[in-house]
Amino acid sequence: MSISTTHLLPGIAPFFRRQFGLGAGIVAVSLLTVASAWAIPLEATDLPRKDISLQEDYAGELRAMAPFLLSHVSSRLASGEHAEVTQAIEAFPEVVVFPIFVAGSVRVVATKNLANKIAQAAGAGNIAVIYPDIGEPYRSVFAQIIDGIESKAKGRVANFAVGPNVDAAELNDALRRQDTKVVIALGRQGAKASSALDGNIGVVVGCVLSASEDQVRDHQVNSLSPDPALLFSRLKGMMPKVRRVFTVYDPRLNAWMMRLAKEAARTQGLELVVYEALDLRSAVRAYQEIFTASDSSQDALWLPQDATTVEEGTVLPMVLQESWDRNLAVFSSSFGHVRRGVLFSLYPNNVELGRHLAGSALGYLATGGNESSGMVPLREVLMAINLRTAKHLGINASRQRGFDMTFPEQ
């Protein structure tokens, strides 16, 4: 019989599990959490310590990426509830008490991929996950992604929540002790920590909006920006008469996304009209040109995840008002925009995203290297729609299916 324990390393606040026999004399106090998931953009500022307000530090990122949690924490056992028991146990000098953090139930799903089957034979122990050390309720965000990872890997994986000042040597030592071959690095902080890992450890980056040139060159980087092919497909399904899509983007942030978008538009018989903008003024001017040239009977406007061209204080309100007045359909890559009035958006299916990331890690184990590097758009998606906007545009949303979230909230 064995128990799972959490090891606390300086600068690392983990869900890090190792197996010990009962004879080891280790008593564990467990904290069971089940959660849902979003993540933090790579370019965000340093993650806050536990004593810093999330609202203050994450306002911009979470407004776009995590305006709500998709499921509730089903069980929370506060460590304080066991204080008397813990203190009594700790009175014995031979005993060491470790807390356990268990992320949700594991859903075992059979895989038909031969390479993954070969990799799974080595065990999930060769995979580790590092993610930002962030307090509740957002810590539970990563638990559901990890649940998906463990489902695909068919076993528990070592988990580390890393802060901005994580000790790289300590982290590398811990990974070596687990015989880790590949790390799934989640969020900006996880991606940052992964850059200091030993060269013989593979890295799959996930849950970011953008990445450095070095990361894109050396690793597979899975973005939270939805695949434009999926966005265009949903648009055509709702508005078959659309023939032209306008968008404004900053090439420093989204050149890779526009390359995908142009190909997706050609495949689906759409004309994609793109405007480049490097600052707020040029973005506003581009939108003004679009509203002048657009024909609401066959055109639509796409808002990518772009801090320059979709600035939420000035640009977004202007775009929403003008598009409403002109009956021009607007769809977005940012979930939070649906609540504010865009027609629809796609957002992550957290468990499936975890399974996708695990699949990439298993592929690394099977081949000994990343099969492909570069940016990968989000394809594990759910759909949100604004019913008020749909009605305004003359779309009968009640006849259509596939909406996972609707606004205004019923």
| Residues 253, 203 share a domain | no
Of 189, 224, 259, the residue at which a domain comes to its end is 224
Asked whether residue 366 is assigned to any structural domain, the reply reads no
pTM of the predicted model over 0.95: no
Total count of domains within the chain: 2
Q: Is 145 part of any domain?
A: yes
Query: For position 240, what pLDDT does the model report?
Result: 96
Same domain, 92 and 108: yes
Per-residue HEC secondary structure of 353-405 comes to HHHHHHHHHHHHHHHCCCCCCEEEEECCEEEEEEHHHHHHCCCCHHHCCCCCE
DSSP assignment letter at 67: S
Q: How far apart are CA 214 and CA 195, in angstroms?
A: 9
In a shared domain, residues 218 and 245? no
Query: What does the pLDDT read at residue 212?
Result: 74
pLDDT at 207: 93
How far is the C-alpha of 197 from the C-alpha of 211, rounded, in Å?
Answer: 17
pLDDT in tens, 261-287: 999 999 999 999 999 999 999 999 999
Residue 104 domain-assigned? yes
- Provide the H-helix boundaries in 70-195: 83-90, 114-121, 139-153, 168-177, 187-194
In a domain, 105, yes or no: yes
Residue 315 is part of a domain; what is its CATH number? 3.40.50.2300
Vertex 333: Cα angle to 330 and 336 (nearest 5): 85
Domain interval for residue 316: 226-347+381-407
Both 100 and 147 in one domain: the answer is yes
Question: 352 lies in a domain?
Answer: no
CA-nearest of 161, 120, 12 to 366 is 120
Task: Evaluate whether residue 374 is within a structural domain.
Answer: no
| Shared domain check, 399 and 287 | yes
Domain boundary among the residues 167, 200, 224 is at 224
224, 245, 272: which is the final residue of a domain?
224
Per the domain annotation, does 293 fall within a domain? Answer: yes
Verify that 177 and 276 share a domain, yes or no. no
Chain mean position to CA 178: 25
Residue 266 is given by DSSP the state H
Confidence at residue 96, expressed as pLDDT on a 0 to 100 scale: 42
388 and 310 within one domain: yes
Q: Are residues 248 and 201 in the same domain?
A: no
Q: Are residue 173 and residue 272 in the same domain, yes or no?
A: no
Eight-class DSSP state of 228? H
246 and 270 assigned to the same domain: yes
Question: What local confidence, expressed as pLDDT, does residue 400 receive?
Answer: 75
pLDDT along the chain (410 residues), means of 10: 34 41 37 33 31 32 42 36 43 41 34 43 77 84 93 94 93 95 95 92 93 81 97 96 98 96 98 98 98 98 97 96 98 97 96 96 86 89 96 88 85
Same domain, 283 and 302: yes
Whether residues 304 and 256 share a domain: the answer is yes
